[in-house]
Structure 1
Amino acid sequence: MFVGHYLEVPEEETGFEGVTIRWLVYPKLGAKNFAMRYFVLKKDSEIPIHQHDWEHEIFILKGEGIITNGEEEHHVKAGNFLYVPPNEPHGYKALSETFEFLCLIPAKKEAIPEDKW
């Protein structure tokens, strides 16, 4: 078993302005099936529409934002959860001071940075 606190995990840049990630659970900790990430988007920052061949499970912890697949937009807020199927386009935009969410993905080599293995 591993127990941690998210504030003890280093915040890393994502390459998108105003967006950080904390890798909470990943293979190097022993997770063989899933990785858990904590994203923070500052107001008006965004992760552009993109897609992968793996699914995402997301739980909104704080704030409000827009989730889009390029055809439809969903206004989401703390307490909402969503499922993004494999290969579905998806993008995020923060509407509040911070938009914070957990995102779980399968533990696949192409989805997780080498230093997390």
Structure 2
Amino acid sequence: MYIGHVNDVEEKDVQVAKETTIRWLITPKLGAKNFVMRYFVIKRRGEIPLHQHDWEHEIFIVKGEGYLTKDGKNWFKVVPGSFIYIPPNEPHGYKNEDSETFEFICLIPAKKEAVPEDEWAE
């Protein structure tokens, strides 16, 4: 078992996004073999542009209000307590228009192409 706190995990800038950080909370480095847990913070006027992956996402909104899109045109507002399932290969994007921060937990499969090398067990 591993017990940690989000504030003890390094916050890193998301290079392909604007005003967005990520914390890799649970990864193969800790022994997780099936899933990875990440914590995202998108600051006001920040965004993660439309993109897609070969893996699913499970998302839970923790703080702030934000918007998600699956086509780049229609945006859906989400609030704390909202949960989202994004199937593999579905284009998706996120933005924060007016909350101080828009924060969410995102779970993905523990796949080599999805997780940075430094989050794998040595």
Taking structure 2 as the reference length, the TM-score comes to: 0.93
Deviations 1:55-78 (Å, cap 9, x if unpaired)? Answer: 000000000001001253210011
Deviations 1:8-53 (Å, cap 9, x if unpaired)? Answer: 1010111123100000000010000000000000011000000000
Supply the RMSD in Å over aligned alpha carbons. Answer: 0.8
Say whether residues 1:42 and 2:46 are aligned partners. no
* % identical equivalent positions: 64
Unaligned regions of 5+ residues in structure 2, if any? Answer: none
Give runs of ≥4 in structure 1 deviating > 4 Å.
Answer: none
Unaligned regions of 5+ residues in structure 1, if any? Answer: none
**Which residue number corresponds to residue 81 of structure 2?**
79
Aligned residue runs from structure 1 range 1-117, under 5 A: 1-15=1-15, 16-70=17-71, 71-95=73-97, 96-117=99-120
Letter in 2 for 1:35: V
Count of aligned positions:
117
Give the distance between the partners of 1:3 and 1:94, measured in 2 at CA: 30
Taking structure 1 as the reference length, the TM-score comes to: 0.97
